[in-house]
């Protein structure tokens, strides 16, 4: 108990009783934590900063979970997840993509894709194994890889190549001791996705270099320009792909925490081993909800997608018009505009936008150094909010321009009087 009393003990590092593991200590605390707390503490903020749908889970799913609670389904399930759910996942993937996974051997139900990423990494990485991760990308890939003992090799992408991985870029980073790669498409935070042709080119690199690919396809339903192609259906890929997906985004079920991993039997049983000791199983109510989601939610999912698409067109054209250049994202509910024209860095921009106009966005640097000069705007927000937010951002840019013009003017004048 002593260790918890008095701040002296906590402050004095050498005397600290609670010593943190070196692995965890090495992981940098997210530099934008402070900004987060700021945004979360503020009132009346229009938030374009969330990584989740603004829709509530479709009622048929909620209702079926309630019904199962009433019937007393409150127990553990098998470690791999309810057979009925694994069967439903297997059928769903087969119908949709002709992607066939056996519910007994190839599918594991997890607590969201987040857990599945962790399991996959721990199942494949030995200490010091190298893993390729795109910069910018979703926040957890790097830290979780490191916690699993891996050595992260960042593959830097930028606006010029539309933040896409390309064969030549991959080749530059691949060496003998690179064991795996994480790919995420449609991608958080950029909204970028890959056509079948692009994926084919990438898959050849993966096959030729014998890489394991962790493919996070959680946003696959939210794609607007071309159909989604799962990496695992391409030649030579199924035996080396760990396919990750879940219910959070397409079915607006983020809080239910349920996702799944599919892959070769050895990998899935290795992942199941870790899962059974750490998580035991995904919550049964969520699994039952997920079954209903796959069974009867085609309508609501399509309707949400159409709505997202309209919002996407709206926000991207509005952003470009007010002076933040923004590529049209192919999927997700994110836009990743450049704010370089303002002369501010991402964090400055996000902070002053929050203070001055009460609009919350995520600085691009949250997703890696390559995110500098960009912000992530989530358009999973009502049209009214989007309209209001773009007006505020426009006002922010204009007032800033004005302020800048005034300083420039003042500076010039000072210059002339000095002469």
Residues of the shown chain interacting with other proteins in the complex, contacts defined by CB under 8 A: 35-36, 39-40, 42, 45, 47, 49-52, 54, 56, 138-140, 188, 306, 310-311, 313-314, 317-318, 360, 362, 366, 383-384, 387
| DSSP one-letter code for 246 | E
What is the closest distance, in whole angstroms, from the C-beta atom of residue 147 to other proteins in the complex? 17
Task: State the nearest-atom distance from the C-beta of 397 to other proteins, in Å.
Answer: 18
Q: Compute the least distance from the CB of residue 43 to other proteins, in Å.
A: 10
Q: Between residues 157 and 248, which has the closer beta carbon with respect to other proteins?
A: 248
Provide the minimum distance between the beta carbon of 255 and other proteins in the complex, in angstroms, as a whole number.
9
* Of 48 and 397, CB closest to other proteins: 48
Any idea which residue has 């493919």 for tokens? 215
Closest separation in Å from C-beta 45 to other proteins = 5
Closest CB to other proteins among residues 174, 319: 319
Query: What letters, b where the CB count within 10 A reaches 16 and e where it falls short, cover 269-292?
Result: ebbbebbeeeeebbbbbbbbbbbb
Contacts of 292 (CB under 8 A, 6+ apart): 60, 61, 64, 65
CA dist 13 and 182 (Å) reads: 36
Taking alpha carbons only, the member of 291, 139, 268, 156 closest to residue 212 is: 268
What are the phi and psi torsion angles at 11 (to 5°)?
-70, -40
Pick between residue 233 and residue 258 the one whose CB is nearest to other proteins. 258
| Nearer Cβ to other proteins (110/188) | 188
**189: cis peptide before it, omega within 30°?**
yes
Residue 39 Cβ, how far from other proteins at the closest point, in Å? Answer: 5
Specify the residue, 103 or 112, whose C-beta has the smaller distance to other proteins: 112
Q: How far is the CB of 142 from other proteins (least distance, A)?
A: 12
Q: Are 47 and 271 in contact (CB under 8 A)?
A: no
Q: Least distance in Å: CB of 358 to other proteins?
A: 10
Cβ neighbours around 161 below 10 Å, total: 12
Q: Which is closer to other proteins, CB of 74 or CB of 317?
A: 317
Distance, in Å, from the CA atom of 80 to the CA atom of 386, rounded to the nearest integer, reads: 41
CA Rg value for the chain: 23
- Calculate the alpha carbon distances from 381 to 118, 220, 247, 280, 370 in Å: 29, 19, 19, 35, 26
Which of 125/316 has CB closer to other proteins? Answer: 316
Q: Residue holding tokens 């479709």?
A: 58
- Among residues 258 and 281, whose Cβ is nearest to other proteins? 258
For the bound state, the minimum distance from the C-beta of residue 311 to other proteins, rounded and expressed in Å, comes to 7
Instruction: Measure CA of the first residue to CA of the last residue in the chain; give whole Å.
Output: 70
With a CB cutoff of 8 Å and minimum separation 6, the contacts of 303 are none
* Smallest gap from residue 195 Cβ to other proteins (A): 20
* Separation CA 351–CA 34 (nearest Å): 10
Q: How buried is 154 (Cβ within 10 angstroms: 0-12 exposed, 13-18 middle, 19+ buried)?
A: middle
The answer to whether the CB of 81 falls within 8 A of the CB of 282 is yes
> Which C-beta is closer to other proteins: that of 49 or that of 230?
49
Q: Of the candidates 97, 149, 273, 134, which has an alpha carbon nearest to the alpha carbon of residue 214?
A: 134
């Amino acid at each position: 108990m002593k260790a918890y009393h008095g701040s002296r003990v906590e402050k004095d590092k050498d005397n600290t009783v609670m010593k943190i593991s070196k692995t965890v200590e090495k992981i940098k605390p997210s530099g934008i934590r402070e900004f987060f707390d700021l945004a979360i503490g503020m009132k009346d903020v229009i938030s374009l900063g969330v990584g989740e749908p603004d829709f509530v889970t479709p009622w048929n799913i909620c209702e079926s979970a309630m019904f199962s609670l009433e019937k007393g389904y409150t127990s553990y399930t098998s470690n791999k997840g309810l057979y009925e759910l694994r069967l439903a996942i297997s059928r769903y993937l087969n119908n949709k993509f002709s992607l066939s996974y056996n519910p007994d051997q190839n599918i594991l139900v997890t607590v969201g894709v987040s857990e599945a990423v962790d399991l996959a990494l721990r199942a494949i990485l030995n200490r010091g194994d190298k893993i390729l991760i795109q910069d910018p990308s979703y926040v957890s890939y790097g830290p979780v890889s490191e916690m699993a003992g891996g050595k992260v090799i960042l593959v830097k992408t930028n606006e010029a190549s539309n933040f896409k991985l390309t064969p030549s870029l991959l080749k530059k980073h691949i060496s003998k001791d690179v064991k795996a790669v994480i790919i995420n498409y449609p991608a958080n935070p950029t909204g970028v996705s890959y056509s079948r042709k692009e994926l084919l080119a990438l898959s050849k690199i993966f096959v030729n270099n014998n890489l394991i690919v962790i493919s996070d396809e959680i946003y696959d339903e939210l794609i607007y320009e071309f159909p989604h192609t799962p990496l695992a259906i391409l030649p030579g890929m199924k035996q080396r792909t760990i396919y990750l997906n879940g219910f959070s985004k397409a079915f607006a079920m983020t809080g239910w925490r349920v996702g799944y991993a599919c892959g070769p039997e050895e990998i899935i049983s290795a992942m199941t081993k870790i899962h059974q000791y750490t998580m035991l199983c995904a919550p049964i109510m969520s699994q039952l909800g997920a079954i209903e989601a796959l069974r009867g939610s085609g309508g609501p999912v399509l309707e949400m997608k159409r709505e997202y698409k309209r919002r996407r067109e709206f926000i991207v054209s509005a952003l470009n018009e007010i002076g933040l250049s923004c590529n049209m994202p192919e999927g997700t509910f994110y836009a990743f505009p450049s704010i370089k024209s303002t002369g501010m860095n991402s964090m400055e921009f996000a902070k002053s936008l929050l203070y001055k106009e009460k609009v919350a966005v995520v600085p691009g640097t949250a997703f890696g150094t390559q995110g500098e000069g960009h912000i992530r705007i989530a358009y999973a927000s009502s049209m009214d909010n989007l309209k209001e937010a773009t007006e505020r951002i426009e006002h922010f840019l204009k007032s800033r321009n004005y302020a800048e013009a005034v300083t420039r003017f003042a500076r010039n004048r000072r210059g002339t009087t000095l002469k």
